[in-house]
Amino acid sequence: MASIFTKIVNHEIPSYKIYEDDKTYAFLDINPETKGHTLVVPKVEVDKIYDLSDEDWNALWATVKKVSKHMEEVTGRRIVYKVVGTDVAHAHVHLMPLDENWEYGKTLHLREDEFQSICEKLAFQD
Ligand code: AMP
The model carries a pTM of 0.98
Return the domain boundaries, the chain.
Answer: 4-122
CB within 8 Å of 49: residues ≥ 6 apart: 57, 60, 83, 85, 91, 92, 93
Question: Among the residues of the chain, which ranges form H helices?
Answer: 4-9, 54-75, 112-122
Output the residue whose Cα is nearest ligand 1's atom 22. Answer: 29
Pseudo-torsion of CA 4, 108, 62, 53, nearest 10°?
-30
- Residues above pLDDT 90, as percent of the chain: 98
Q: Give tens-digit pLDDT for 95-125.
A: 999 999 999 999 999 999 999 999 999 999 9
Å from CA of 74 to ligand 1 middle: 23
Say whether 92 is catalytic.
Answer: yes
3-state secondary structure of 82: strand
Å from CA of 87 to ligand 1 middle: 7
Low-confidence stretches of the chain (pLDDT beneath 50)? none
User: Is the domain defined by 4-122 classed in CATH 3.30.1360.30?
Assistant: no
